[in-house]
A and B are shown apart, each in its own frame.
Chain A
Amino acid sequence: MKIKINISSDILTKPIMAEAILETGVLLNISQAHFDRSHGEVVADVEKDKFELMCKALMDRGAKVTKLDTPIRWDENECVECSACISVCPTKVFALADDFSLEVDETKCIQCATCVDMCPHNALSLENNK
């Protein structure tokens, strides 16, 4: 399952993710990371039954952890199958089939919301976003 880890500026330089991985022995597969002076945001995959363990280890070190369990919602009635969303999605959720129909594999979605702005027909939405 996908989780989002928010790291505030005061602990930004500490290796909290490495520590949490070492302490729990649970693997994190990082799919997106963004850091600037004010905060850090990491999206990662973790095995479902290990989530609680990892979550606790990270929270103990001051990070905020949110489950990303509602991926992108695609409204087929609004979609005109233009393919605008394809080139902006970082994880290749969208693809065109041989007959130019849009295929959506929402399990890959990391909820970055880039496609929500891109879609000219308001066919894409995120629960926590729009």
Chain B
Amino acid sequence: MVKKTIHEINSRIRDGSVSVVTAEEMVHIVGELGAEGAAKEVDVVTTGTFGAMCSSGVWLNFGHSEPPIKMQKVFLNDVEAYTGVAAVDAFIGATQISETLGMDYGGAHVIEDLIRGKSVNLHAISHGTDCYPRKVLDTTLTLEDMNQAIMMNPRNAYQKYNAATNSTKSTIHTYMGSLLPSFGNVTYSGAGVLSPLSNDPDYMTIGTGTRIFLGGTQGYITGQGTQHSSGGGFGTMMVQGDLKNMSPDYVRAANFAGYGTSLYLGMGVPIPILNEQIAQATAVTDADITTNILDYGVPSRDRPAVRQVTYAELRSGSVEIDGRDVPTSSMSSFKKSRMIASELKEWIARGDFFVSMPAERLPKDVSARPMKQTEGIALVSDIMAVSVVTIGMGASIYDAAKTIMDTDFNHLPVVDENECLVGIITAWDISKAVSQNKFDLVEDIMTRKVITSSADERVAVVARRMDQDSVSAMPVINKGRRVIGMITSDDISKLYARRS
């Protein structure tokens, strides 16, 4: 039985005799010496991770202006920061996007620019009060000029994360990157063998007050992260650190095409080896950590799992799906994760960083719940029009025009002799044909690629498809491609108007 205290380890850090290794090195040491031997040999194991952490942001205190202002809204380089607290405090979140540049620039970029020493434009407005008379303020500030710039991230360093793929026929753009059609690739995130929480999954040493590596400087874990779901192996942590001491090597703004901005952040947690159980836990390898590959092509909270994989398989460069080798990409950087574990190891070996025991450990066996929705989830069948007028593909343009005039429907689904959907024709298509002096059949001028929906789809999902494909109505079809209804953007606006 090995039993060490934090105090003993810290005195070894102080006198330079501490034995510290990275979580990758620890795998071999436990393999050679066993957990007990390794626990005697090693005092601290360092971990590291570097990846997209959307739930990141910084509390800034700007100091008071003359005359003073109580900021009601504040923008940094056109990115809104939250200032619903005291007069000149604001939280700039990583994923907030610019009012003018959209997804090309966001809170994450403001944060990186500040660390790089660049000045940012501050614009604030207020309604003015007796104690804070100013209504508008414009100035430029650098990180130096702020009283405090404290990174405070509600949820970072997922223990592990789902891998992503896409079963649909077109590329989708997600926070897991571009996912190619028909299971064309798999992306994943997380440092596996080096992952902080995976190296102490029972949180024997991790919790409120744990001193960590954050963005290139010392930071702290302040408690469990939001959505902490340790029961399923998806623990997270809330962290804090001084932005003024951070380095752009470990804090980098990112853009995910079609999704928005995020912050890549480097973090490392030291794990003091107090006994052999802890030593054993830090021997975890990529092959021991499993996760699911989820189908991001399904626009639902409950994305179906395509299969289970280990991080070792993901890291190998390809995984098998339905008998095919599908290439994998990591969205996080393993190389940087390694650099972080090594840098933290050096700090400890040099006597610059001391380990700590948490005031309270992260909670175990809790799970995050899905949202309670009181409005119910509207389905297409709830709001679609069921009396639909269709037209045969062999009908004349004149017939189509007459049907539109008689029925007041703007969109006519076109069907073949078996009543199956083959196209769609609108009043505009007809006007266009007439203006070009074309008097052909409906099938000659109809749009053949019809955007459709099915009755059991969720309205919110269908609304997004209408937006993306710029259509204002869609035939609702059954499995046999028979038209059973019609849903229009008007129906959808009415639904949401009723609710708001």
Task: Report if A87-B327 is in contact (Cβ < 8 Å); known contacts: A81-B333, A100-B334.
Answer: yes
Chain A residues with CB under 8 A of B254: 120-121
**Are A88 and B185 touching (Cβ within 8 A)?**
yes
**Are A101 and B252 touching (Cβ within 8 A)?**
no
**Are B52 and A87 touching (Cβ within 8 A)?**
no
Chain B nearest Cβ from A68, distance in angstroms: 21
A31 CB within 8 Å of chain B: no
B168 CB within 8 Å of chain A: no
Interface size on B, residues (CB 8 A): 31
Of the stretches B69-77, B173-181, B355-363, the one at the interface is B173-181
**Are A82 and B332 touching (Cβ within 8 A)?**
yes
**Are A120 and B328 touching (Cβ within 8 A)?**
no
Select one of B177, B262, B338 contacting A118, CB under 8 A: B177
Tell me the interface secondary structure of chain A in the complex: loop
A114 CB within 8 Å of chain B: yes
CA–CA, A27 and B405, complex, Å: 59
Chain A residues with CB under 8 A of B173: 117
- List residues of B (89-122) whose CB comes within 8 Å of A's CBs: none
Chain B residues with CB under 8 A of A118: 177-178, 257, 329
* Chain B minimum-CB-distance residue to A83: B330
A84 CB within 8 Å of chain B: yes
Residues 307-339 of B, flagged 1 when their CB comes within 8 A of A and 0 if not, give 000000000010000000001111111111010
B187 CB within 8 Å of chain A: yes
Chain A nearest Cβ from B208, distance in angstroms: 30
Residues 240-264 of B, flagged 1 when their CB comes within 8 A of A and 0 if not, give 0000000000001011111000101
Tell me the interface secondary structure of chain B in the complex: strand
B50 CB within 8 Å of chain A: yes
**Are A80 and B329 touching (Cβ within 8 A)?**
no
Task: Report if A100-B338 is in contact (Cβ < 8 Å); known contacts: A80-B264, A120-B255.
Answer: yes
**Are A80 and B50 touching (Cβ within 8 A)?**
yes
* Chain A minimum-CB-distance residue to B165: A87
Residues 431-464 of B, flagged 1 when their CB comes within 8 A of A and 0 if not, give 0000000000000000000000000000000000
A7 CB within 8 Å of chain B: no
A109 CB within 8 Å of chain B: no
Question: Which residues of chain A have a CB within 8 Å of any CB of chain B?
Answer: 80-88, 96, 99-101, 114, 117-118, 120-122
Q: Which 5 A-B pairs have the closest CB atoms?
A: A87-B329, A87-B185, A120-B254, A100-B335, A87-B327
